[in-house]
A = this chain, B = another copy of it.
Amino acid sequence: METKNAAGRKEKQIILASASPRRRELLALMGLTFQILPSEKEEIVTGSTPGEIVENLSFQKAEDVTARLPWTVREDGQEPDAIVIGSDTIVVCDGEVMGKPHTQEEAFAMLHRLQGRSHVVYTGVTVMCRAADTITYDTFSESAVVTVHAMDDAEIRGYIAKGESMDKAGAYGIQGSFAVFVDRIEGEYNTVLGLPVAALYQVLKRYL
């Protein structure tokens, strides 16, 4: 006998394949109960467009975690379906992909390049569902244009000194004190944060 929830659907176990605290907060915002199991596989950048690149990276993460999932049969002999969510974000300026800075000077160079103009943030998401004998998945990407006010060198150094640059693509986090430098965005705000929750919700509705 299958275990069903109130809506009569089979129970699903949700796993977030990311260690990012921002993605964890956003997924929690959706009211979902989930576990965290970050992908450990080395990422291989493939794809000819930014959208393809983040879609492929999100797929690699979801696939790695799905493959490593333990099969835990419960007391009723039933294994809940597992839904794994992989996600990846890049910043693109003048067609060049920006990753995370490794030094404060790299962070300075990135922010100096991003200030006073627009760039694009791409986030790819893969939702992978493992049932008893099948694996199905959806992959999509969203982008948002972010326009940053002009920043002088003192403002850039002041921001970096706050310690919010080092673990973020493009060397900034839009949800923190960098907000004072963001002129406008066009797209879903949460795409910039690393998880386009509205688009994800539309996909998850089909699985849950």
Contact = CB atoms under 8 A, between A and B. Distances in A.
Interface string A169-186: 000001011011111111
Interface of A: 26, 29-31, 144, 149, 174, 176-177, 179-190, 197-198, 200-202
Nearest to A28: B177
A26 B179 contact: yes
B185 A198 contact: no
Contact of A184 (B149, B182, B184, B186): B186
Contact of A188 (B26, B184, B197): B184
B177 A29 contact: yes
Copies in the complex: 2
A198 B177 contact: no
A87 to B, nearest CB: 15
Q: Give the 8 A-B residue pairs with the shortest CB-CB distance, closest first.
A: A180-B201, A189-B189, A186-B186, A179-B197, A180-B197, A184-B187, A182-B198, A184-B188
Contacts of A185: 185-189
Contacts of A26: 179
A26 B179 CA distance: 9
